[in-house]
Structure 1
Amino acid sequence: MSNKWKNGLMLLAVILLVVLPLLLVNGEFGGADDAAEGVITEIDPGYEPWFKPLTELPGETESMLFALQAAIGAGVIGYSIGLLKGRQDRRKLNDQKN
Structure 2
Amino acid sequence: MSLSKNGKVVIFCLILAVIIAVVPLLFIHDSEFGGADGEAEEVITAINPNYHAWAQPLLEPPGGETESLLFCLQAATGSGLFFFGMGYLVARKKFQKKEKQE
Same fold (TM over 0.5): yes
Structure 2 match to 1:43: 47
Which range moves more in the overlay, 83-92 or 38-47? 38-47
State how 1:17-36 maps to structure 2 within 5 Å.
30-31=35-36, 33-36=37-40
User: How many residue pairs end up in the alignment?
Assistant: 69
The share of aligned pairs that are identical, in percent, is: 45
For residues 37-65 of structure 1, what are the alpha-carbon distances to aligned partners after superposition, in whole Å with 9 as ceiling and x for unaligned?
A: 24422431221223444535301100100
Point out 4+ residue stretches in structure 1 off by more than 6 angstroms: none
Structure 1 match to 2:21: none
**1:62 and 2:67 matched:** yes
Gaps of 5+ in 1: 1-27
* TM-score (normalizing by structure 2): 0.54
Which range moves more in the overlay, 73-82 or 37-46? 37-46
**CA 1:86–1:45: 2 relative to 1, 3 Å:** same
* TM-score (normalizing by structure 1): 0.56
Q: Which has the higher contact order (CA 8 A, sep 6+)?
A: 2
**1:92 and 2:97 matched:** yes
For residues 8-65 of structure 1, what are the alpha-carbon distances to aligned partners after superposition, in whole Å with 9 as ceiling and x for unaligned?
A: xxxxxxxxxxxxxxxxxxxx9942x235424422431221223444535301100100
